[in-house]
Amino acid sequence: MGVCTVKCAFSALCGIGLALLAAVAAAQDVPSVNPLAGNAKAIAAGESLFSSMNCDGCHGGGGSGWVGPSLADGRWRFGGDDAALYHSIAHGRPRGMPAYGELLPEEFIWQLVSYLQQLRAPPGVPTQYWP
């Protein structure tokens, strides 16, 4: 292997390593507690974003579930606390949830989290697992 090939490979690995470190550092800068929790304006903005970003196209109106899971029934596959919801929106989840962290600013993601956390299951929606 030539000197140039080794140097190029090393440079590429260093670049990848730096990118990973930057991503981890950026993720650590996000608070684990929603700074907009309970804020009526943030909840209203989150509801508007939920519709305008077509979240209801998968999760149904009011987050009641459709193609994607219900977000109003209190059952969370990846956790329903502030940090888990933020992570799901920003980084996506396997089997269908796209990542929006590159598209939405942090404040918008927290607005969505605020909206989701105030949702309540509509009447008649089972909140238990039925075999």
Which range has the worst mean pLDDT, 9-13, 45-49, 58-62, 87-91? 9-13
Q: Quick check: is 122 in a domain?
A: no
Q: Quick check: is 104 in a domain?
A: yes
> How many domains does the chain fold into?
1
Q: Quick check: is 69 in a domain?
A: yes
CB of 87 within 8 A of CB of 34? no
Q: Quick check: is 10 in a domain?
A: no
Find the domain containing 47 and state its range. 31-117
Q: Quick check: is 49 in a domain?
A: yes
pLDDT band, very low/low/confident/very high, at 25 (cuts 50, 70, 90): very low
3-state secondary structure 4-65: HHHHHHHHHHHHHHHHHHHHHHHHHCCCCCCCCCCCHHHHHHHHHHHHHCCCHHHHCHHHCC
Q: Quick check: is 19 in a domain?
A: no
Q: What is the mean pLDDT of residues 25-41?
A: 81
For the chain, the farthest-separated pair of C-alpha atoms sits apart, in whole angstroms, at 69
Question: CATH code at 82?
Answer: 1.10.760.10
Q: What is the pLDDT of residues 66-80, one digit of tens each?
A: 899 999 988 889 999
Distance CA 131, CA 19 (A): 45
Residue 8 corresponds to which tokens in the numbers above? 């190029």
pLDDT band, very low/low/confident/very high, at 56 (cuts 50, 70, 90): very high
